[in-house]
C-alpha cells in the first residue's frame, strides 16, 4: 500500500529551516530535505524536488522568510532592498507556476507597516504560515 503524505507534511517551517518532502524520491522512499538557505530553496524548485504548484508557492514564501533571517545587520531600507532582490530571485525559480508572483508580492506587502527589522521578520514568518493555511484549505 502506497500512502501519499498530506500537504502539511510536504512543506514545514521549522524555526530556522524548511523541511521539504523530496518529490524525486517518491514512491520508492520518503525523504525529507532540510533547506537552510535561499539557494537551497531555489534549487529545490528548479530541480523539481518540489512539484505541486501550491507546494512551490509555500516553499517560496517560507524561503523568503528564511532568507530574511540571514541578512547581516543593516537599516530597515537596506534590509527591504535585499528582501526585494531575493523575492525576484525566487520568482525566477519557476515563473510558470500559477500565482507564484502574487504569493511573493503578498509576502512583501506583509512588511509594509513594519517599523523594525525584527518586526518585519516576524511578519514574514506569520504571512508564510497564513499562505500555507490558505493553500491547504483551497
Q: List, for residues 96-118, the tens digit of each pLDDT value.
A: 999 999 999 999 999 999 999 99
Is the Cβ–Cβ distance between 5 and 26 less than 8 Å? no
Q: How far is residue 20 from each of residues 3, 76, 116, measured CA to CA in Å? A: 17, 30, 30
CA dist 1 and 75 (Å) reads 54
Cβ-based neighbours of 113, under 8 Å, separated by 6 or more = none
What per-residue confidence (pLDDT) applies to 124? 98
Q: Cell triple for residue 116?
A: 523594525
Residue 3 in this model has a pLDDT that exceeds 50: no
> Average of pLDDT values for 120-133?
97
Give the strand order in the sheet containing 11-14: 11-14, 17-21, 32-35
pTM assigned to the model:
0.92
Q: How far is residue 137 from each of residues 14, 19, 114, 132, measured CA to CA in Å? A: 21, 20, 28, 9
What confidence category does residue 9 fall into, taking pLDDT thresholds of 50, 70 and 90? confident
- Residue (of 81, 92, 83, 88) closest to 124 by Cα position: 83
| Helix/strand/coil for 48 | coil
What per-residue confidence (pLDDT) applies to 8? 53
Domains of the chain: 7-137 (1.20.120.420)
pLDDT digits (tens, 9 = 90+) for 12-61: 999 899 999 999 999 999 999 999 999 999 999 999 999 999 999 999 99
DSSP annotation of 52: S
What per-residue confidence (pLDDT) applies to 73? 79
What per-residue confidence (pLDDT) applies to 133? 95
Amino acid at each position: 500500500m502506497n500512502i501519499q503524505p498530506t500537504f502539511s507534511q510536504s512543506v514545514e517551517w521549522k524555526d530556522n529551516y524548511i523541511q521539504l518532502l523530496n518529490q524525486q524520491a517518491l514512491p520508492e522512499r520518503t525523504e525529507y530535505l532540510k533547506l537552510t538557505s535561499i539557494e537551497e530553496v531555489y534549487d529545490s524548485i528548479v530541480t523539481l524536488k518540489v512539484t505541486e504548484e501550491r507546494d512551490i508557492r509555500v516553499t517560496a514564501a517560507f524561503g523568503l522568510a528564511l532568507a530574511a533571517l540571514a541578512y547581516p545587520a543593516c537599516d530597515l531600507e537596506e534590509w527591504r532592498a535585499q528582501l526585494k532582490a531575493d523575492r525576484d530571485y525566487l520568482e525566477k525559480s519557476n515563473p510558470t507556476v500559477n500565482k507564484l508572483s502574487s504569493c511573493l508580492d503578498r509576502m512583501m506587502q506583509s512588511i509594509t507597516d513594519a517599523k523594525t527589522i525584527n518586526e518585519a521578520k516576524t511578519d514574514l514568518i506569520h504571512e508564510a504560515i497564513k499562505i500555507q493555511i490558505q493553500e491547504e484549505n483551497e
